């Protein structure tokens, strides 16, 4: 009886979820919109239909290899459905006017852009944002990004990038949420909600684009655009879920990835784009390629020429060709040759027209062209305040010997030394959209901006980021010797991560380590502010008696937010979402790996035939989930109660230091015996909580057996009864553990 009701309830729940997700996918598309689109489709020539499937860049920004200067002519011809890299009200209005006044059918254009971590107000790079573990702040940053971008004519962003990445050589780790799939799903959904809001017709929301579908983050050897090859099981278990989370959150578009998977470039992968994305996941937005990725299939070697590539793409389920002109040039002859179907072309046009209707462009093509909004809603003081707080929240304190940080209040002279101490341009990081580097606050400026400051700030560069010039060392050492406290500003240039920025060596570049050693020899207290877009191999720096604050690239408010942390106005609470290796040889090193049949046992360090390195530990320098605070936390009273399919985990966390602080309390699970092997640990929950000094907080996590499910060789996801270890702690390596049985 019980189980009958349970089944019925589950079925109703499932119907509700499906219909809610269908609603969130519809995003305000009305029956009237749909019939308007039917009428429009009937009046379109084949050329006009193909035009809707074509996306071209304006000449305002360069985000790829080739530019098409003809875009204005194409707009007037009705040969373009959307334009990217064009913004500001005047410019968008000018191009939109060409579309709606000079083209035959007057179909408005969509305007897209890479709004990746802010539009004008640039926030920390996405990897840094993820280290805040603050989903509300991540969502809010996209809300602000959408507010600013739509105030400048845009209505489509090529974000979020949700590619799981385990190899820090790959420069695009900067754009994602890190190595963990579970957390990646939460971040993906938060970003989509932030950009799209609940109503796409609102003038301050925009269509998001989940990318790069799929598994772009698994490029071999961390080299951008390189081949991806993995088992279907890994694809389902680790790489696909964040894209699915974005789809479930209602994302309006998806971008194919440049890479192939098992011999099939994503742009030609019908299984991926049609069977999985459309049929299994119910995606109702439109699919766009990445920049010329149709044409690139000729290089991949699965298409004879651009025409052949266009055939593969449309037959796979690609709706819009970004910058490749292959649809424009070849879809008509391909149709005549019966190599593609009109019904597929019509369906693609429909998805794109629906997107335009969802944005309200048919009601008013200029609805994102308000001069008033452009003046009032961009770079506001509130947006700057939020950005500053977000910078501070994204910083991760890696090391703090002898409580070198926060900087003591009685310091009279601070020397900032290092190539990144006063470099506005670098603060933006990669993909800075319409961010203006001149408006960025550097570390030196941030230190000087503090109201009522009682100290002097002096600066010497010491060296450049990448070359071997040591001629500035002497001046830097001399200046440091005159100060009471030194902040070393070291790391990578902003351009060294992001697209096409893979590195084969992830050390701190140039002679910066040497500079650090020389400065430490002055005997002054030293804290390092590290600027970088990926985990670096920092063992050499780490061996020095210095504090290290990972600041990433903080964007417009970088210096102010970092100063807030350095002085302790904000107690750091960030935790790494990507492992910092001991050295490059360990890469890829990530927390949720498998145990192997010959695991290394620290109690038997001399054992030979075990899975280990001869020359270094298996453990990374800083594990996933790691980050210090100016206070300390202790964990106790881990309990776990299993009641049917429900697992309740409770823990007490005490602030044992002498200042209030936020802690990211993390819950991991290990399935001890599975029909296929399971990782040594998997994140299944977290709570970010403020704990006052001396206070103990009891926290509870509630899991169900769904949280224990994993993909099986038949690609079905279900859980297996048995023993599980539950871990709770402040990072993935230091946890309390309890074994439970779930039947
Ligand atoms: C190529 C990048 O891979 C993609 O992320 C970006 O959105 C496009 N270029 C457009 O700039």
Query: Cα(502) to centroid of ligand 1, in Å?
Result: 16
For residue 288, the surrounding DSSP H or E stretch is strand 286-288
Q: What is the pLDDT of residue 433?
A: 87
Output 62 or 689, whichever has higher pLDDT: 689
Q: Write the CA distances from 17 to 21, 325, 421, integer angstroms.
A: 6, 39, 50
**Cα–Cα distance, 551 to 384 (Å, whole number):** 17
pLDDT at 367 over 60: yes
> What order do you get walking across the sheet with 646-655 strand by strand?
633-643, 646-655, 696-704
Confidence bin at 390 (pLDDT 50/70/90) = very high
Average pLDDT over residues 105-131: 98
Question: Is the link from the previous residue into 229 a cis peptide, with omega within 30 of 0?
Answer: no
Distance (Å) from CA 42 to ligand 1 centroid: 33
pLDDT at 67: 53
| Closest atom, ligand 1, to C-alpha of 161 | 5
CB 384 within 8 A of CB 557: yes
Check the CA dihedral 27-33-34-39 and report its sign.
Answer: negative
DSSP code of residue 550: E
pLDDT of residue 1: 34
499 lines ligand 1 (CB under 6 A): yes
User: Are the CB atoms for 685 and 703 separated by under 8 Å?
Assistant: yes
Which residue has the CA at smallest separation from atom 3 of ligand 1? 290
Going by alpha carbons, the residue nearest to atom 11 of ligand 1 is: 63
| 258 Cα nearest atom in ligand 1 | 3
Q: The tokens of 106 are what?
A: 């007057």
pLDDT band at residue 24 under the 50/70/90 scheme: low
Atom of ligand 1 nearest to the CA of 85: 11
Reduced 3-state DSSP string for 97-161: HHHHHHCCCCCCCEEEECCCCCCCCCCCCHHHHHCCCCHHHHHHHHHHHHHHHHCCCCCEECCCE
Does 650 have pLDDT greater than 70?
A: yes
Query: In sequence order, what are the beta bridge partners of 414?
Result: 457, 485
What is the reported pLDDT for 26?
72
> Does residue 408 register a pLDDT over 60?
yes
Strand order in the sheet with 321-322: 156-157, 110-113, 82-84, 54-57, 321-322
Mean pLDDT score, 313-336: 98
Residue-level pLDDT at 252: 98
Least confident of 64-78, 119-133, 205-219, 561-575: 64-78
Mean pLDDT of 582-596: 98
Q: Could you report the per-residue pLDDT of 548-575, keeping only the tens digit for each?
A: 999 999 999 999 999 999 999 999 999 9
Which of 114, 116, 209, 217, when mutated, tests ligand 1's pocket best, judged by the most ligand atoms within 8 Å of its CB?
A: 114
What average pLDDT does range 296-306 have in this prediction?
98
Residue length of the chain: 743
Residue closest to 216 by CA, chosen among 270, 303, 289, 283 = 289
Query: Which tokens in the block code for residue 641?
Result: 């109660």
**Closest Cα to atom 4, ligand 1: which residue?**
290
Domains identified in the chain and CATH numbers: 46-374 (3.20.20.300), 379-566 (3.40.50.1700), 633-742 (2.60.40.10)
Nearest CA to ligand 1 atom 1: 291
Beta carbons within 8 Å of 72's beta carbon, 6+ residues apart: 95, 98
The b/e string for 662-683 (b: 16+ C-beta within 10 A; e otherwise) is bbbbbbbbbbeeeeeebbbbbb
| Per-residue confidence (pLDDT) for residue 25, from 0 to 100 | 60
pTM of the model: 0.96
Residue 325 CB-density burial (10 A; 0-12 exposed, 13-18 middle, 19+ buried): buried
Give residue 608's pLDDT band: very low, low, confident or very high (50, 70, 90). very high
Helix, strand or coil, per DSSP, at residue 300? helix
23 has a pLDDT exceeding 90 = no
Best residue among 175, 211, 253, 290 to mutate for probing ligand 1's pocket (most ligand atoms within 8 Å of CB) is: 290
| Crossing angle for the helix pair 326-336 and 342-358, to the nearest 10 degrees | 140
pLDDT score at 446: 98
Nearest residue to 701 (alpha-carbon basis) of 740, 655, 734: 740
pLDDT for position 64 = 75
**pLDDT of 289:** 98
Query: Residue 60's pLDDT is what?
Result: 82
Q: What CA–CA distance (Å, rounded) separates 592 from 141?
A: 29
Verify whether residue 290 is a known catalytic residue.
yes
Average the pLDDT over 509-533 and give the result. Answer: 98
Which pLDDT value is given to residue 159?
A: 98
Q: Is the pLDDT of residue 7 over 90?
A: no
Q: Ligand 1 in contact with 211 (CB < 6 A)? A: yes
Percent of the chain with pLDDT over 70: 96
Tell me what pLDDT residue 14 has: 46
Query: For residue 417, how far is its CA from the centre of ligand 1 (angstroms)?
Result: 35
In degrees to the nearest 10, what's the CA dihedral of 277, 175, 502, 427?
160
Sign, CA torsion 227/230/232/238: negative
pLDDT of residue 16: 47
Is the confidence at residue 591, as pLDDT, over 80?
yes
HSE-CB of 253 using CA atoms within 13 angstroms: 35
311 lines ligand 1 (CB under 6 A): no
Judge if the beta carbon of residue 291 lies within 6 A of ligand 1.
yes
DSSP letter for each residue of 631-669: S-EEEEEEEEEEETTEEEEEEEEEE-SSS-EEEEEEEEE
Count CB neighbours of 702 within 10 A. 11
> What is the reported pLDDT for 66?
54
Q: Catalytic: which of 134, 290, 308, 319?
A: 290
Q: What is the mean pLDDT of the chain?
A: 95
With contact defined as beta carbons under 8 Å apart, do 694 and 634 qualify?
no
Confirm or reject: Cβ of 158 under 6 Å from ligand 1.
Answer: yes
The pLDDT confidence band at residue 490, using thresholds 50, 70 and 90, is very high
**Residue 565 φ then ψ, to 5°:** -75, -45
Rounded CA separation 56/365 (Å): 18
The residue ranges of DSSP E strands in 360-434, in sequence order, are: 396-399, 413-417
Task: Identify the H or E element spanning 192.
Answer: helix 181-196
Residue 10 has pLDDT above 80, yes or no: no
């Amino acid at each position: 009886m019980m189980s009958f009701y349970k089944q019925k309830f589950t079925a109703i729940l499932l119907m509700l979820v499906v219909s809610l997700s269908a609603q969130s996918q519809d995003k305000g598309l009305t029956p009237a919109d749909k019939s308007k689109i039917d009428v429009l489709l009937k009046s379109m020539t084949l050329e006009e239909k193909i035009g809707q499937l074509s996306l071209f860049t304006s000449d305002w920004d360069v985000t790829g290899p080739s530019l098409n200067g003809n875009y204005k002519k194409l707009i007037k011809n009705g040969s373009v459905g959307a334009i990217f890299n064009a913004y500001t009200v005047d410019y968008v209005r000018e191009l939109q006017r060409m579309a709606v006044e000079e083209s035959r059918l007057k179909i408005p254009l969509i305007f897209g852009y890479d709004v990746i971590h802010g539009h004008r107000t640039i926030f920390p790079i996405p990897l840094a944002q993820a280290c805040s573990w603050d989903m509300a702040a991540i969502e809010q940053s996209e809300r602000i990004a959408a507010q600013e971008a739509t105030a400048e004519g845009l209505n489509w962003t090529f974000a979020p990038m949700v590619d799981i990445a385990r190899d820090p050589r790959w420069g695009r780790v900067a754009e994602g949420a890190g190595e963990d799939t579970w957390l990646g799903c939460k971040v993906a959904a938060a970003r989509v909600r932030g950009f799209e809001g609940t109503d796409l017709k609102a003038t301050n929301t925009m269509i998001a684009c989940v990318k790069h579908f799929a598994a772009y983050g698994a490029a071999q050897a961390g080299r951008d655009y390189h081949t991806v090859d993995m088992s279907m099981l890994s694809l389902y278990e680790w790489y696909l879920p964040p894209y699915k989370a974005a789809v479930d959150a209602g994302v309006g578009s998806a971008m194919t990835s440049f890479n192939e998977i098992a011999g099939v470039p994503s742009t030609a992968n019908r299984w991926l784009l049609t069977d999985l994305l459309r049929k299994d996941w119910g995606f109702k937005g439109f699919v766009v390629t990445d920049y010329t990725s149709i044409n690139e299939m000729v290089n991949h070697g699965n298409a004879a020429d651009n025409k052949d590539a266009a055939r593969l793409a449309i037959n796979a389920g690609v709706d819009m060709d970004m910058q490749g002109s292959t649809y424009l040039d070849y879809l008509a002859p391909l149709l005549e040759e019966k190599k593609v179907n009109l019904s597929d072309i019509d369906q693609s046009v429909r998805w794109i027209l629906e997107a335009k209707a969802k944005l309200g462009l048919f009601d008013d093509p200029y609805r994102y062209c308000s001069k008033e909004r452009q003046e009032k809603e961009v770079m506001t003081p509130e947006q700057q305040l939020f950005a500053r707080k977000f910078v501070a929240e994204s910083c991760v304190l890696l090391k703090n010997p002898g409580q070198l940080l926060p900087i003591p209040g009685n310091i009279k002279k601070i020397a900032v030394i290092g190539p990144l101490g006063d470099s506005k341009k670098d603060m933006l990081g990669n993909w800075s959209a319409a961010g203006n580097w001149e408006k960025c606050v550097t570390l030196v400026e941030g230190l000087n901006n503090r109201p009522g400051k009682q100290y002097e700030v002096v600066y010497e560069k010491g060296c450049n980021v990448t070359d071997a010039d040591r001629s500035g060392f002497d001046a830097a050492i001399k200046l440091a010797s005159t100060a009471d406290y030194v902040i070393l500003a070291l790391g990578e240039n902003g351009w060294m991560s992001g697209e096409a920025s893979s590195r084969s060596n992830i050390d701190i570049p140039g002679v910066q380590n040497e500079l650090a050693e020389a400065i430490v020899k002055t005997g002054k207290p030293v804290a390092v502010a590290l600027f970088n877009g990926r985990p670096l191999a920092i063992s050499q720096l780490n061996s020095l008696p210095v504090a290290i604050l990972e600041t990433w690239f903080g964007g417009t408010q970088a210096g102010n937010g970092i100063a807030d942390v350095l002085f302790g106005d904000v107690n750091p609470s960030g935790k790494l979402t990507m492992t910092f290796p001991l050295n490059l040889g360990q890469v890829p090193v990530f927390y949720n790996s498998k145990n192997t049949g010959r695991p290394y046992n620290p109690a038997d360090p001399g054992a030979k035939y075990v899975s280990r390195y001869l020359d270094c530990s298996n453990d990374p320098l800083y594990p996933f989930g790691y980050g210090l605070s100016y206070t300390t936390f202790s964990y106790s009273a881990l309990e776990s109660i299993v009641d049917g399919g429900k697992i309740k985990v409770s823990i007490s966390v005490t602030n044992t230091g002498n200042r209030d602080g936020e802690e990211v309390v993390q819950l991991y699970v290990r399935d001890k015996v599975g029909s296929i092997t399971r990782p040594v640990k998997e994140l299944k929950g977290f709570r970010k909580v403020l704990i006052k000094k001396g206070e103990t907080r009891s926290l509870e996590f509630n899991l169900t057996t769904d949280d224990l499910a994993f993909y099986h060789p038949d690609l079905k996801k279900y859980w297996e009864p048995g023993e599980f270890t539950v871990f709770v702690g402040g990072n993935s390596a230091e946890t309390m553990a309890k074994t439970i049985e779930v039947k």
